[in-house]
């Protein structure tokens, strides 16, 4: 079940979401200009390596470009291939703008980074001895999915299912099914040795997102909203003359 878009309008331009997407694309274009050895070197120096992150291993001085504690952040902007990048950006494009709208620029930026860090730590705890770098924005975006589930479970998402069917379904179904599949995959392939996917990072980011959302949403933004309404402006006479009245972004129609 591949989501293609939602019907959930926003009231503010999602600048942070756009910047994150642009940064991921620019870094990937840089990666494409590297040869195999150079790209491998980049992944080791800026990827989140569980054993290094937990202090069980240390990188040689020439590879320790940034402190190990910062690698969960730098790893968010690296990707292992065009499909890896494309899948992440699709989910961020569909769900990120609404979550940013609900939190505001500063809160959403903090939220995104903390979810990414939480995802990397979860992956490290699941595979503490691994020396394979974890890269990608999947963990942070999983946090965005968790937030969307809490904020807009009844928003409709247009999905592509079975390469044949196209239809609208509630976000709760799409994201609930996504979470269940990640959990099953983690049970069958905890270290990602078969799939090459950090399932623990996906689940960790999602859970952190769910926990943080009630704290990070803007004042007045409800949880489990049934429907979003875009701000509407109308020139309606009112006491004191003609002025503009606005419907709040969270009001019911």
Domain ranges of the chain: 2-246
pLDDT of residue 217 exceeding 70, the answer is yes
- Mean pLDDT, the chain, as a whole number? 89
For the ranges 20-24, 79-83, 192-196, which has the lowest average pLDDT? 192-196
pLDDT of residue 11 exceeding 70, the answer is yes
Tell me, rounded to whole angstroms, the distance of Cα 69 from its chain centroid. Answer: 20
The model's pLDDT over 240-252, given as tens digits with 9 standing for 90+, comes to 443 443 444 444 4
pLDDT of residue 235 exceeding 50, the answer is no
Q: How far apart are CA 18 and CA 89, in angstroms?
A: 10
Q: How far apart are CA 103 and CA 146, in angstroms?
A: 14
At the top level of CATH, the class of 2-246 is mainly alpha
pLDDT at 162: 76
Comparing CA positions, the residue from 193, 92, 96 lying closest to residue 137 is 92
Percent of the chain whose predicted confidence (pLDDT) is above 90: 78
pLDDT at 177: 94
Reported confidence tier of residue 227, pLDDT bands at 50, 70, 90: low
The model's pLDDT over 24-34, given as tens digits with 9 standing for 90+, comes to 999 999 999 99
Q: How far apart are CA 213 and CA 51, in angstroms?
A: 30
The model's pLDDT over 130-177, given as tens digits with 9 standing for 90+, comes to 999 999 999 999 999 999 999 999 999 999 987 778 889 999 999 999
Reported confidence tier of residue 64, pLDDT bands at 50, 70, 90: confident
Residues 6+ away with beta carbon under 8 Å from 89 = 21, 24, 25
DSSP label at 70?
A: G
pLDDT at 165: 80
pLDDT at 233: 41
Q: How far apart are CA 210 and CA 142, in angstroms?
A: 10
The model's pLDDT over 31-60, given as tens digits with 9 standing for 90+, comes to 999 999 999 999 999 999 999 999 999 999
């Amino acid at each position: 079940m591949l989501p293609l878009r939602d019907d959930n309008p926003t009231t503010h331009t999602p600048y942070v979401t756009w910047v994150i997407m642009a940064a991921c694309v620019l870094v990937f274009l840089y990666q494409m200009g590297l040869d195999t050895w150079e790209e491998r070197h980049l992944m080791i120096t800026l990827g989140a390596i569980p054993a290094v992150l937990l202090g069980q291993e240390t990188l040689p001085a020439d590879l320790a470009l940034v402190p190990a504690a910062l690698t969960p952040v730098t790893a968010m902007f690296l990707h292992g291939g065009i499909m890896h990048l494309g899948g992440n950006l699709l989910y961020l494009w569909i769900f990120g703008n609404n979550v940013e709208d609900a939190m505001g620029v500063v809160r959403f930026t903090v939220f995104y980074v903390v979810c990414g860090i939480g995802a990397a730590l979860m992956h490290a705890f699941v595979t503490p001895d691994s020396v394979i770098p974890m890269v990608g924005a999947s963990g942070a975006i999983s946090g965005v999915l968790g937030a969307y589930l809490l904020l807009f479970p009844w928003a409709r998402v247009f999905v592509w299912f079975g390469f044949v069917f196209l239809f609208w379904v509630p976000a709760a179904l799409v994201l609930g099914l996504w979470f269940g599949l990640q959990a099953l995959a983690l049970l069958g392939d905890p270290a990602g040795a078969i799939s090459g996917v950090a399932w623990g990072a996906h689940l960790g980011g999602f859970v952190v997102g769910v926990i943080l959302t009630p704290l990070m949403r803007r004042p007045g933004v409800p949880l489990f909203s049934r429907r979003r309404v875009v701000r509407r402006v109308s020139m309606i006479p009112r006491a004191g003359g003609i002025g503009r009245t606005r419907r709040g972004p969270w009001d019911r129609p």
